[in-house]
Amino acid sequence: MDEKIEHTKTGARNEDKEVVIISGSSGLIGFPLIEKLAENYRVVGLDRVGPPYPPLKAECVNFDITDEKGIDSAMERIRYGYGSKIASVIHLAAFYSFNTEDSPGYEEINVKGTRKFLSQLQDFEVDQFIYASSDLIYKPVEPGVKIDEDSPIEANWGYPESKISAENIIKENNENIKTAFLRIAGIYNNMGNSIPISQQIKRIYEEDLISHFYSGDMNFGDVFVHLEDVLDAIVKTVDRRDELPEDLALNIGEPTTPTYKELQDKIGKLIHGEDEWETHEIPKSIAKTGAWARDLVGDPFIKPWMIDRSDDHYELDISRAKKYIDWEPKHRLMDTLPEIIDNLKEDPDAWYKENNLK
């Protein structure tokens, strides 16, 4: 039998602060999260080679989640610099795209990549593993029905399917590591930075003909959450890691769901001064034909496969997050829309660039 290797708990960069590792550290969540956590922790960012880079408050270690040898090299660098004792690993690295209903990236990065990453972590002393999951893993509900963490799971396209698979892999493989599954709603900030929201704003701002049509029930909607509230939830989950139970799932989203109609009217009012943005429901068959035709001549946001998802509705029960990490969101999308629209009007070019609409 091979003799067990005893690794030092402290590395070359020995400090009093505990170590936190963030995968996907240069992304929308990872970058500002480092800024917050660096106040009380030594933070290491794992990310792909090349820009963008995480803040200088964290060491950036090159990390290709699809390459097991690359992951091993990254973790050995962390062991040398910081030791084998890790307070929390926050796994944000993921593939996400609206361009296709399914993609090899979901399996290679979100599922297989997570498995490879977990395999390397087994040789460390990790107190906590936080997985950034999605509220889209839940079966949609009717308006007025709240989704709690024990509600039925039912994904209907590639991204949430990969999140469900990754959650199951983590539960099966995270021996002796406390895990928190944060099922996060659609993230936005004061510049937008939410693909569905920014696209909806763009259509109305440009007075695109399709901004007046919708293929689903306009009284249905999705859950959103401000980036600042997501950061607050993650920091609280790290800080309270010793108090939390094993395999804890938490819904992270706003407690109210704006309907598609409410968003249409609010955006139309803020941009064009119209109290009601004229919007008509159209049959899915017509919507699919139109989306297919537009896809032939360009690269529109609305793809034919999305039409079947237009009646999905989500409302979250966040009482468990309040109980375990004393969290509830301080922002609401409907209250933040005026600032998002003001930023658009002030500098449309900068807003379009920020939202990757150019």
d(CA 189, CA 229): 10
Q: Residue 26 pLDDT > 90, yes or no?
A: no
Query: pLDDT at position 111, please?
Result: 94
* pLDDT tens-digit map of 267-312: 999 999 988 899 998 887 777 666 666 654 455 566 665 677 888 9
The whole-model pTM stands at 0.91
Return mean pLDDT, the chain: 89
Convert the chain into a string of H (helix), E (strand) and C (coil).
CCCCCCCCCCCCCCCCCEEEEEECCCCCCHHHHHHHHCCCEEEEEEECCCCCCCCCCCEEEECCCCCHHHHHHHHHHHHHHHCCEEEEEEECCCCCCCCCCCCHHHHHHHHHHHHHHHHHHCCCEEEEEEEEEEHHHECCCCCCCCECCCCCECCCCHHHHHHHHHHHHHHHHCCCCEEEEEEECEEEECCECCHHHHHHHHHHHCCCHHHHEECCCCCCCCCEEEHHHHHHHHHHHHHCCCCCCCCEEEEECCCCCCCHHHHHHHHHHHHHCCCCCCCEECCHHHHHHHHHHHHHHCCCCCCHHHHHHCCCCCCECCHHHHHHHCCCCCCCHHHHHHHHHHHHHHCHHHHHHHCCCC
Q: Residue 52: is the preceding peptide bond cis (ω within 30°)?
A: yes
Summarised one tens digit per residue, pLDDT across range 158-194 is 999 999 999 999 999 887 899 999 999 999 999 999 9
pLDDT tens sequence across 311-357:
899 999 999 999 999 999 999 999 999 999 999 999 999 999 999 99
Residue for token pair 């293929």: 215
Task: Give domain limits for the chain.
Answer: 18-185+224-252, 195-222+257-313+332-354
Cβ within 8 Å of residue 134, ≥6 positions away: 159, 160, 163, 183, 184
Residue 73 above 50 pLDDT? yes
Give the model confidence (pLDDT) of 78-115 as tens digits. 999 999 999 999 999 998 876 676 788 889 999 999 99
CATH 3.40.50.720 fits 18-185+224-252, yes or no: yes
Question: Which of the residue ranges 4-13, 34-43, 170-179, 227-236 would you say has the lowest mean pLDDT?
Answer: 4-13
Question: Comparing 77 with 51, which gets the higher pLDDT?
Answer: 77
Percent of the chain, pLDDT > 90? Answer: 71
